[in-house]
């Protein structure tokens, strides 16, 4: 089991559809931000810094499963709790739980990989084994 982080989100008018309900892609944007927040909270540098020291450019998403339970609207505050459910050789599964007070709004499971640029063709990227130093920081 990994450590857990939390990130606060205040819903703004522009986050909502014409009915005043948070437009679902906003949740995915917030969860992506919560993923980076998770690593940075435990001492991992932001990806643009890490690229210069280790070559790691980030943790692209391979698979995403979300379950929406309740709606939310502007003016409300959400809390995103994030942890790593499972570490594998090249991938990890990250879990996000979004709540409003005691209400579950959404939960998500994401499969991600650490990636570096290809040495021959810098436009291409490829997955690397989960770096042990990063894993140790997050467990």
Written as tens digits, the pLDDT of the chain (139 aa) is: 679 999 999 999 999 999 999 999 999 999 999 999 999 999 999 999 999 999 999 999 999 999 999 999 999 999 999 999 999 999 999 999 999 999 999 999 999 999 999 989 989 999 999 999 999 999 9
pLDDT at residue 2, as a whole number: 79
Write down the domain spans for the chain.
Answer: 4-138
pLDDT at residue 71, as a whole number: 96
Q: Minimal CA–CA distance to 66: which of 104, 10, 92? A: 104
Q: Which of 17, 103, 118, 133 is catalytic?
A: 17
Helix (H, G, I), strand (E, B) or coil at 11: coil
Helix (H, G, I), strand (E, B) or coil at 126: strand
Q: Report pTM.
A: 0.93
Domain 4-138: CATH class, spelled out: alpha beta
Q: CA 9, CA 100: separation in Å to the nearest integer?
A: 10
Over the range 51-86, which residues count as b (16 or more CB within 10 Å of their CB) and which as e? eeeeebebbeeeeeeeeeeeebeeebebebbbbbee
Residue 102 appears among annotated catalytic residues: no
């Amino acid at each position: 089991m990994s450590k857990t982080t939390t990130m606060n989100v205040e819903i703004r008018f522009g986050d909502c559809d014409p009915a005043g309900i948070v437009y679902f892609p906003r949740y995915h944007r917030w969860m992506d931000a919560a993923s980076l927040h998770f690593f940075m909270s435990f001492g991992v540098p932001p990806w643009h810094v890490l690229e210069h020291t280790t070559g790691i450019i980030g943790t692209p998403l391979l698979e995403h499963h979300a379950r929406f339970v309740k709606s939310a609207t502007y003016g409300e505050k959400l809390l995103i709790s994030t942890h790593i459910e499972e570490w594998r050789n090249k991938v990890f599964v990250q879990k996000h739980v979004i709540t409003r007070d005691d209400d579950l709004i959404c939960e998500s499971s994401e499969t991600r990989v650490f990636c570096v640029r290809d040495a021959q063709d810098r436009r291409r990227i490829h997955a690397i084994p989960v770096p042990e130093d990063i894993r140790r920081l997050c467990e």
